[in-house]
Structure 1
Amino acid sequence: MPFKISDIVAAGTLARRPQPTLAVAGGGLVVRPWAVEDAPAVYEAFQDPEIQRWHARVADSESEVRGWMEGWRKAWADERDAYWAVADAGTDEVLGRVALRCIVLGDGQAEVAYWTMPSARGLGIAPRAVTALSDWAFDEVGLHRLELTHSTANEASCRVALKTGFAVEGTKRSALLHEDGWHDMHLHARIRDDGPAALV
Protein backbone atom coordinates (compact mmCIF):
# COMPACT_ATOMS: atom_id res chain seq x y z
CA MET A 1 0.00 0.00 0.00
CA PRO A 2 1.58 3.33 -0.99
CA PHE A 3 2.09 6.17 1.47
CA LYS A 4 -0.20 9.17 0.96
CA ILE A 5 2.48 11.63 2.12
CA SER A 6 5.89 11.87 0.50
CA ASP A 7 9.10 12.14 2.50
CA ILE A 8 9.86 15.74 3.47
CA VAL A 9 13.54 15.21 2.64
CA ALA A 10 14.63 12.34 0.43
CA ALA A 11 16.96 9.66 1.73
CA GLY A 12 20.49 10.26 0.50
CA THR A 13 20.26 14.05 0.71
CA LEU A 14 23.11 14.15 3.25
CA ALA A 15 25.03 10.98 2.46
CA ARG A 16 25.55 11.72 -1.21
CA ARG A 17 27.60 14.85 -0.51
CA PRO A 18 30.54 15.71 1.74
CA GLN A 19 29.71 17.32 5.06
CA PRO A 20 29.92 21.07 4.36
CA THR A 21 31.50 24.00 6.12
CA LEU A 22 28.70 26.40 7.12
CA ALA A 23 28.63 30.15 6.73
CA VAL A 24 28.40 32.12 9.99
CA ALA A 25 27.04 35.67 9.91
CA GLY A 26 29.41 38.39 11.10
CA GLY A 27 32.67 36.58 10.38
CA GLY A 28 35.25 35.42 12.88
CA LEU A 29 33.84 31.90 13.17
CA VAL A 30 33.81 28.81 11.02
CA VAL A 31 31.50 25.82 11.48
CA ARG A 32 33.38 22.95 9.88
CA PRO A 33 33.61 19.16 9.95
CA TRP A 34 35.77 17.70 12.70
CA ALA A 35 39.40 16.81 11.93
CA VAL A 36 41.47 14.21 13.74
CA GLU A 37 43.75 17.05 14.88
CA ASP A 38 40.84 18.36 16.98
CA ALA A 39 40.94 15.36 19.35
CA PRO A 40 43.00 17.16 22.06
CA ALA A 41 40.50 20.05 22.14
CA VAL A 42 37.50 17.71 22.49
CA TYR A 43 39.29 15.76 25.21
CA GLU A 44 40.00 19.04 27.02
CA ALA A 45 36.37 20.14 26.67
CA PHE A 46 35.09 16.97 28.29
CA GLN A 47 37.30 17.55 31.33
CA ASP A 48 35.29 20.72 32.06
CA PRO A 49 32.87 20.34 35.00
CA GLU A 50 30.10 22.28 33.21
CA ILE A 51 30.23 20.06 30.14
CA GLN A 52 30.40 16.98 32.37
CA ARG A 53 27.35 18.21 34.29
CA TRP A 54 25.10 18.17 31.22
CA HIS A 55 26.53 15.14 29.37
CA ALA A 56 26.31 11.45 30.17
CA ARG A 57 29.56 10.74 28.37
CA VAL A 58 33.12 11.37 29.57
CA ALA A 59 36.37 11.22 27.61
CA ASP A 60 39.15 9.16 29.17
CA SER A 61 41.73 9.78 26.44
CA GLU A 62 42.40 11.50 23.15
CA SER A 63 42.39 8.05 21.56
CA GLU A 64 38.83 7.56 22.76
CA VAL A 65 37.85 10.92 21.25
CA ARG A 66 39.32 9.88 17.90
CA GLY A 67 36.99 6.88 18.07
CA TRP A 68 34.06 9.25 18.66
CA MET A 69 35.11 11.20 15.58
CA GLU A 70 35.06 8.07 13.47
CA GLY A 71 31.54 7.48 14.78
CA TRP A 72 30.59 11.05 13.84
CA ARG A 73 31.77 10.48 10.25
CA LYS A 74 29.74 7.28 10.06
CA ALA A 75 26.68 9.04 11.51
CA TRP A 76 26.84 11.55 8.62
CA ALA A 77 27.08 8.71 6.08
CA ASP A 78 24.14 6.95 7.76
CA GLU A 79 22.15 10.24 7.93
CA ARG A 80 21.52 9.78 11.68
CA ASP A 81 23.49 12.67 13.21
CA ALA A 82 25.77 15.47 12.01
CA TYR A 83 28.50 17.01 14.17
CA TRP A 84 30.56 20.13 13.48
CA ALA A 85 33.42 21.93 15.19
CA VAL A 86 32.94 25.63 15.84
CA ALA A 87 36.34 27.23 15.35
CA ASP A 88 38.03 30.62 15.21
CA ALA A 89 38.20 31.58 11.53
CA GLY A 90 41.70 33.02 11.91
CA THR A 91 43.47 30.49 14.11
CA ASP A 92 41.23 27.40 13.64
CA GLU A 93 41.16 26.99 17.44
CA VAL A 94 38.18 24.87 18.50
CA LEU A 95 35.66 27.00 20.41
CA GLY A 96 32.77 24.56 20.62
CA ARG A 97 30.52 22.06 18.93
CA VAL A 98 27.17 22.22 17.18
CA ALA A 99 25.19 19.23 15.97
CA LEU A 100 22.03 17.84 14.49
CA ARG A 101 21.00 14.72 16.37
CA CYS A 102 18.23 12.18 15.82
CA ILE A 103 17.81 13.20 12.18
CA VAL A 104 14.68 11.78 10.51
CA LEU A 105 14.83 13.02 6.93
CA GLY A 106 11.48 11.52 5.96
CA ASP A 107 9.75 13.50 8.70
CA GLY A 108 11.89 16.59 8.07
CA GLN A 109 13.02 16.77 11.70
CA ALA A 110 16.16 16.80 13.85
CA GLU A 111 17.39 17.95 17.26
CA VAL A 112 19.99 20.70 17.75
CA ALA A 113 22.78 20.30 20.32
CA TYR A 114 25.81 22.41 21.24
CA TRP A 115 28.53 23.17 23.76
CA THR A 116 31.30 25.73 24.05
CA MET A 117 34.80 25.61 25.47
CA PRO A 118 35.12 27.35 28.87
CA SER A 119 37.32 30.08 27.38
CA ALA A 120 34.71 30.83 24.69
CA ARG A 121 31.65 31.30 26.88
CA GLY A 122 29.80 34.59 27.03
CA LEU A 123 31.02 35.69 23.58
CA GLY A 124 27.90 34.81 21.60
CA ILE A 125 29.57 31.86 19.90
CA ALA A 126 26.87 29.24 20.58
CA PRO A 127 23.99 31.43 19.31
CA ARG A 128 25.84 32.27 16.10
CA ALA A 129 26.74 28.64 15.46
CA VAL A 130 23.19 27.43 16.22
CA THR A 131 21.78 30.06 13.87
CA ALA A 132 24.17 29.03 11.08
CA LEU A 133 23.27 25.38 11.55
CA SER A 134 19.52 26.06 11.69
CA ASP A 135 19.61 28.22 8.55
CA TRP A 136 21.50 25.51 6.69
CA ALA A 137 19.13 22.76 7.91
CA PHE A 138 16.07 24.69 6.74
CA ASP A 139 17.38 26.37 3.59
CA GLU A 140 19.84 23.83 2.19
CA VAL A 141 18.58 20.48 3.49
CA GLY A 142 14.87 21.31 3.57
CA LEU A 143 14.07 20.19 7.12
CA HIS A 144 10.74 21.40 8.49
CA ARG A 145 11.20 21.29 12.28
CA LEU A 146 14.18 21.53 14.63
CA GLU A 147 13.86 20.73 18.32
CA LEU A 148 16.19 21.73 21.13
CA THR A 149 15.96 20.33 24.66
CA HIS A 150 17.87 21.16 27.82
CA SER A 151 17.54 20.63 31.55
CA THR A 152 15.36 23.26 33.18
CA ALA A 153 18.36 23.86 35.47
CA ASN A 154 20.59 24.77 32.50
CA GLU A 155 19.82 28.48 32.24
CA ALA A 156 22.72 29.20 29.86
CA SER A 157 21.38 26.70 27.34
CA CYS A 158 17.91 28.21 27.65
CA ARG A 159 19.31 31.65 26.80
CA VAL A 160 20.93 30.25 23.64
CA ALA A 161 17.65 28.63 22.58
CA LEU A 162 15.66 31.82 23.06
CA LYS A 163 18.26 34.03 21.33
CA THR A 164 18.15 31.79 18.27
CA GLY A 165 14.38 31.77 17.83
CA PHE A 166 13.60 28.40 19.42
CA ALA A 167 10.23 28.98 21.09
CA VAL A 168 9.46 27.24 24.37
CA GLU A 169 6.82 24.57 23.74
CA GLY A 170 6.67 23.02 27.19
CA THR A 171 8.37 21.01 29.88
CA LYS A 172 9.00 17.28 29.60
CA ARG A 173 8.75 16.06 33.18
CA SER A 174 11.50 13.81 34.54
CA ALA A 175 12.65 13.21 30.97
CA LEU A 176 16.41 12.67 31.19
CA LEU A 177 18.62 11.01 33.77
CA HIS A 178 21.68 13.05 34.70
CA GLU A 179 24.40 12.08 37.17
CA ASP A 180 22.51 13.86 39.96
CA GLY A 181 19.11 12.34 39.13
CA TRP A 182 16.16 12.84 36.80
CA HIS A 183 15.77 16.27 35.23
CA ASP A 184 12.78 18.02 33.76
CA MET A 185 13.61 19.20 30.25
CA HIS A 186 12.51 22.32 28.43
CA LEU A 187 11.37 21.62 24.88
CA HIS A 188 12.07 24.40 22.36
CA ALA A 189 11.45 24.28 18.62
CA ARG A 190 11.75 26.24 15.40
CA ILE A 191 9.90 25.43 12.23
CA ARG A 192 10.91 26.50 8.77
CA ASP A 193 7.96 28.90 8.48
CA ASP A 194 9.19 30.84 11.53
CA GLY A 195 11.68 32.61 9.28
CA PRO A 196 15.23 33.63 10.18
CA ALA A 197 16.24 34.08 13.80
CA ALA A 198 17.02 37.60 14.98
CA LEU A 199 19.85 37.32 17.50
CA VAL A 200 19.18 39.45 20.57
Structure 2
Amino acid sequence: MSISDTDTDRRLFRPTVLDLGDALLRPWGRSLELPGGVGPALAAAAADPDIARWSPLAAVGPVDPEVYLDRCDSLWADGTAAAFAITDAADGGLRGNAYLGWTNRDDGVAMVGYWLLATARGRGLATRAATAVTRWGVEHAGVRRIELYHSVANEGSCRVAERAGFPYEGTLRGSYTYGGGVYTDEHLHARLASDPFTD
Protein backbone atom coordinates (compact mmCIF):
# COMPACT_ATOMS: atom_id res chain seq x y z
CA MET A 1 0.00 0.00 0.00
CA SER A 2 1.37 3.40 -0.90
CA ILE A 3 1.13 6.49 1.27
CA SER A 4 -0.40 9.55 -0.36
CA ASP A 5 0.04 13.19 0.62
CA THR A 6 -3.62 13.15 1.65
CA ASP A 7 -2.94 10.30 4.10
CA THR A 8 0.00 12.16 5.60
CA ASP A 9 -1.99 15.40 5.90
CA ARG A 10 -4.77 13.52 7.67
CA ARG A 11 -2.39 12.04 10.22
CA LEU A 12 -2.70 14.84 12.76
CA PHE A 13 -3.94 14.64 16.34
CA ARG A 14 -6.32 17.52 17.07
CA PRO A 15 -7.63 18.45 20.54
CA THR A 16 -10.91 16.83 21.47
CA VAL A 17 -12.70 15.48 24.54
CA LEU A 18 -13.43 11.76 24.73
CA ASP A 19 -16.41 10.79 26.90
CA LEU A 20 -16.24 7.45 28.73
CA GLY A 21 -19.39 8.09 30.72
CA ASP A 22 -17.93 8.19 34.23
CA ALA A 23 -14.72 9.81 33.00
CA LEU A 24 -13.67 12.41 30.46
CA LEU A 25 -10.40 12.40 28.54
CA ARG A 26 -9.50 16.09 28.22
CA PRO A 27 -6.46 17.53 26.45
CA TRP A 28 -3.54 18.44 28.68
CA GLY A 29 -2.47 22.03 28.10
CA ARG A 30 -2.64 25.57 29.43
CA SER A 31 -6.42 25.68 29.06
CA LEU A 32 -6.99 22.60 31.26
CA GLU A 33 -8.52 23.35 34.64
CA LEU A 34 -8.54 20.87 37.51
CA PRO A 35 -9.93 21.21 41.03
CA GLY A 36 -7.09 22.44 43.23
CA GLY A 37 -5.00 23.35 40.20
CA VAL A 38 -3.04 21.50 37.56
CA GLY A 39 0.31 21.94 39.32
CA PRO A 40 -0.66 20.17 42.55
CA ALA A 41 -2.41 17.42 40.57
CA LEU A 42 0.72 16.75 38.50
CA ALA A 43 2.94 16.84 41.59
CA ALA A 44 0.71 14.30 43.33
CA ALA A 45 0.77 12.04 40.27
CA ALA A 46 4.57 12.23 39.99
CA ALA A 47 4.87 11.38 43.70
CA ASP A 48 2.80 8.20 43.34
CA PRO A 49 5.27 5.29 43.69
CA ASP A 50 3.79 3.22 40.86
CA ILE A 51 3.62 6.17 38.46
CA ALA A 52 7.18 7.13 39.39
CA ARG A 53 8.33 3.54 38.81
CA TRP A 54 6.67 2.84 35.46
CA SER A 55 5.95 6.20 33.82
CA PRO A 56 8.32 8.73 32.25
CA LEU A 57 6.29 11.51 33.94
CA ALA A 58 9.00 12.22 36.53
CA ALA A 59 11.85 10.14 35.13
CA VAL A 60 14.12 13.15 34.71
CA GLY A 61 13.33 14.85 38.01
CA PRO A 62 10.51 16.90 39.52
CA VAL A 63 7.67 17.76 37.19
CA ASP A 64 7.50 21.43 36.22
CA PRO A 65 3.79 21.99 35.43
CA GLU A 66 4.52 24.98 33.20
CA VAL A 67 7.00 23.04 31.08
CA TYR A 68 4.72 20.00 30.97
CA LEU A 69 1.67 21.98 29.84
CA ASP A 70 3.67 23.96 27.27
CA ARG A 71 5.03 20.71 25.85
CA CYS A 72 1.53 19.23 25.63
CA ASP A 73 0.22 22.36 23.89
CA SER A 74 3.13 22.20 21.43
CA LEU A 75 2.51 18.53 20.62
CA TRP A 76 -1.21 19.17 20.10
CA ALA A 77 -0.44 22.20 17.93
CA ASP A 78 1.77 20.25 15.54
CA GLY A 79 -0.48 17.18 15.67
CA THR A 80 2.29 14.75 16.64
CA ALA A 81 0.95 13.58 20.01
CA ALA A 82 -2.27 13.57 21.98
CA ALA A 83 -1.94 13.79 25.77
CA PHE A 84 -5.20 13.45 27.67
CA ALA A 85 -5.93 14.05 31.34
CA ILE A 86 -8.35 11.37 32.51
CA THR A 87 -10.78 13.23 34.74
CA ASP A 88 -13.81 12.25 36.78
CA ALA A 89 -17.00 13.19 34.93
CA ALA A 90 -18.74 14.23 38.16
CA ASP A 91 -16.15 16.23 40.10
CA GLY A 92 -13.54 16.98 37.41
CA GLY A 93 -10.70 15.57 39.51
CA LEU A 94 -7.64 14.04 37.90
CA ARG A 95 -7.70 10.24 37.66
CA GLY A 96 -4.85 9.60 35.25
CA ASN A 97 -3.35 10.11 31.83
CA ALA A 98 -3.74 8.58 28.38
CA TYR A 99 -1.35 9.25 25.52
CA LEU A 100 -1.17 8.54 21.81
CA GLY A 101 1.84 9.68 19.82
CA TRP A 102 3.34 9.03 16.43
CA THR A 103 6.45 6.89 16.31
CA ASN A 104 6.39 6.80 12.49
CA ARG A 105 3.77 9.20 11.16
CA ASP A 106 4.52 8.54 7.49
CA ASP A 107 3.91 4.82 8.03
CA GLY A 108 0.89 5.33 10.32
CA VAL A 109 2.49 3.82 13.44
CA ALA A 110 1.68 5.26 16.87
CA MET A 111 2.30 4.34 20.49
CA VAL A 112 -0.24 4.36 23.31
CA GLY A 113 0.51 4.85 27.00
CA TYR A 114 -1.35 5.51 30.25
CA TRP A 115 -1.08 5.87 34.00
CA LEU A 116 -3.66 6.07 36.78
CA LEU A 117 -3.65 7.49 40.27
CA ALA A 118 -4.03 4.86 43.00
CA THR A 119 -7.64 5.87 43.71
CA ALA A 120 -8.64 5.15 40.09
CA ARG A 121 -7.06 1.70 39.75
CA GLY A 122 -8.85 -1.62 39.70
CA ARG A 123 -11.96 -0.45 37.82
CA GLY A 124 -10.89 -1.03 34.22
CA LEU A 125 -10.34 2.67 33.57
CA ALA A 126 -6.87 2.24 32.03
CA THR A 127 -8.26 -0.39 29.63
CA ARG A 128 -11.16 1.83 28.61
CA ALA A 129 -8.93 4.89 28.19
CA ALA A 130 -6.37 3.00 26.09
CA THR A 131 -9.18 1.61 23.93
CA ALA A 132 -10.79 5.04 23.54
CA VAL A 133 -7.64 6.86 22.43
CA THR A 134 -6.75 3.98 20.10
CA ARG A 135 -10.18 3.99 18.44
CA TRP A 136 -10.08 7.77 18.16
CA GLY A 137 -6.62 7.66 16.56
CA VAL A 138 -7.75 5.08 14.03
CA GLU A 139 -10.98 6.87 13.15
CA HIS A 140 -9.79 10.49 13.16
CA ALA A 141 -6.07 10.45 12.38
CA GLY A 142 -5.59 7.39 10.19
CA VAL A 143 -3.48 5.40 12.64
CA ARG A 144 -2.60 2.07 11.01
CA ARG A 145 -0.69 0.27 13.77
CA ILE A 146 -0.68 1.02 17.49
CA GLU A 147 2.09 -0.25 19.76
CA LEU A 148 2.13 -0.56 23.53
CA TYR A 149 5.33 -1.11 25.53
CA HIS A 150 5.75 -1.93 29.22
CA SER A 151 8.43 -3.30 31.51
CA VAL A 152 8.35 -7.09 31.77
CA ALA A 153 7.91 -6.58 35.52
CA ASN A 154 4.77 -4.45 35.11
CA GLU A 155 2.14 -7.19 35.22
CA GLY A 156 -0.73 -4.73 35.61
CA SER A 157 0.11 -3.00 32.35
CA CYS A 158 0.37 -6.38 30.64
CA ARG A 159 -3.20 -7.18 31.74
CA VAL A 160 -4.41 -3.78 30.48
CA ALA A 161 -2.78 -4.41 27.10
CA GLU A 162 -4.44 -7.80 26.71
CA ARG A 163 -7.87 -6.53 27.80
CA ALA A 164 -7.60 -3.58 25.39
CA GLY A 165 -6.99 -5.94 22.46
CA PHE A 166 -3.21 -5.58 22.13
CA PRO A 167 -1.74 -9.06 21.60
CA TYR A 168 1.76 -9.78 22.90
CA GLU A 169 4.28 -9.69 20.05
CA GLY A 170 7.61 -10.21 21.79
CA THR A 171 10.20 -9.08 24.31
CA LEU A 172 12.57 -6.19 23.58
CA ARG A 173 15.83 -6.74 25.46
CA GLY A 174 17.44 -3.80 27.27
CA SER A 175 14.89 -1.51 25.68
CA TYR A 176 14.11 1.34 28.09
CA THR A 177 15.31 2.98 31.30
CA TYR A 178 12.40 3.24 33.72
CA GLY A 179 13.45 5.91 36.18
CA GLY A 180 16.78 6.26 34.43
CA GLY A 181 20.07 4.44 34.69
CA VAL A 182 19.35 0.76 34.07
CA TYR A 183 17.97 -0.56 30.80
CA THR A 184 15.20 -3.10 31.30
CA ASP A 185 13.43 -5.57 29.03
CA GLU A 186 10.01 -4.61 27.72
CA HIS A 187 7.05 -6.47 26.33
CA LEU A 188 5.75 -5.24 22.98
CA HIS A 189 2.00 -5.49 22.38
CA ALA A 190 0.35 -4.13 19.25
CA ARG A 191 -2.89 -3.97 17.33
CA LEU A 192 -3.79 -2.96 13.80
CA ALA A 193 -6.51 -0.58 12.70
CA SER A 194 -8.20 -3.58 11.10
CA ASP A 195 -8.43 -5.48 14.40
CA PRO A 196 -11.99 -5.40 15.76
CA PHE A 197 -12.75 -3.29 18.82
CA THR A 198 -14.72 -4.98 21.59
CA ASP A 199 -16.82 -2.86 23.93
Task: Give TM-score scaled by structure 2 length.
Answer: 0.86
CA deviation digits over 1:40-77, x for unaligned, max 9?
2111000011111113452536xx12211111110111
Which residues of 2 match residues 9-158 of structure 1 at below 5 A? 9-11=7-9, 13-14=11-12, 18-24=14-20, 27-34=21-28, 35=32, 37-58=37-58, 60=62, 64-158=64-158
Deviation at 1:195, TM superposition (A): 1.3
Cα distance in 2, alignment partners of residues 150 and 162 from structure 1: 12
Cα distance in 1, alignment partners of residues 67 and 44 from structure 2: 15
Cα distance in 1, alignment partners of residues 103 and 76 from structure 2: 10
Deviation at 1:12, TM superposition (A): 6.0
Cα distance in 1, alignment partners of residues 56 and 82 from structure 2: 19
Deviation at 1:5, TM superposition (A): 3.7
Count the aligned residue pairs: 190
Cα distance in 1, alignment partners of residues 128 and 83 from structure 2: 16
Cα distance in 2, alignment partners of residues 9 and 106 from structure 1: 8
Task: Give TM-score scaled by structure 1 length.
Answer: 0.86
Structure 2 unaligned residues grouped into runs of 5+:
none
Task: State the Cα RMSD in Å.
Answer: 2.2
Quote the residue 2:191 is aligned against. Answer: 190
Tell me the percent identity: 37
Deviation at 1:80, TM superposition (A): 2.3
Residue range with higher mean Cα deviation, 41-50 or 174-183: 174-183
Q: Which amino acid aligns with 1:31?
A: L
Structure 1 unaligned residues grouped into runs of 5+:
none
Q: Which amino acid aligns with 1:73?
A: D
Task: Tell me the secondary structure at the aligned position of residue 9 of structure 1.
Answer: helix
Cα distance in 2, alignment partners of residues 51 and 7 from structure 1: 39
Q: 1:149 to 1:73 in 2, by over 3 A?
A: same
Task: Tell me the secondary structure at the aligned position of residue 165 of structure 1.
Answer: coil
